[in-house]
Structure 1
Amino acid sequence: MEYNDQMKNRVKRIEGQLRGVLKMMEEEKDCKDIVTQMSAIRSALDRTIGLVVGTNLEQCVREQLDKGENTDDLIKEAVNLLVKSR
């Protein structure tokens, strides 16, 4: 699978958010503020996982259909990946 710039930029943004949380911890910022930022990171990561799995699923389904093959197993696998990520 090819990971596009949108996916990579999302991960870079999450990386920056994580560095920000570490800095907040080093500066002994309020727990509530840190947890709020961590929650935002988790949400961004969940959305990125959805984007990666969805894009991969779309590509794989197109390939399977082009070959005339069944896509049921691919769809089940994608759903399982999303469930496991939670």
Structure 2
Amino acid sequence: MRYDKKIVNRLKKSEGQMRGVLNMMDTEKDCKEVVTQLTAIRSSIDKAIGLIVAENLVQCISDENSGLTSEEAVQEAIHLLVKTR
């Protein structure tokens, strides 16, 4: 599967935010600030997961060789989304 550059960039941004959180912890920043940043990272990653699943769903439905019916592809996508929560 090809991954959109926007998704890759979103994850790279999350990676940078995670390094920032580690730095915040090293410098003993307030726990509220750390948790706020971690929440932002989680939100960004959740959005990336949604985009990846959506793209995969389109690919599965359009791929004649997948062996999945449209309904099965949708159920698989829903399962992936629920599993991440």
TM over 0.5: yes
List structure 1 runs of 4+ shifted beyond 2 angstroms: none
1:57 aligned partner = 57
Q: Does 1:10 align with 2:10?
A: yes
For 1:59 and 1:16, the matched residues in 2 are separated by 30
For 1:25 and 1:31, the matched residues in 2 are separated by 8
Where structure 1 has 5 or more consecutive residues not aligned to the other structure, the ranges are none
Where structure 2 has 5 or more consecutive residues not aligned to the other structure, the ranges are none
1:70 is displaced (CA, Å) by: 2.4
- Aligned-residue Cα RMSD (Å) equals 1.7
1:71 is displaced (CA, Å) by: 1.1
For 1:28 and 1:45, the matched residues in 2 are separated by 25
| Number of residue pairs the alignment of both structures matches | 84
Q: Does 1:85 align with 2:84?
A: yes
| TM-score of the two chains, using structure 2 as the length reference | 0.92
| TM-score of the two chains, using structure 1 as the length reference | 0.91
For 1:85 and 1:5, the matched residues in 2 are separated by 22
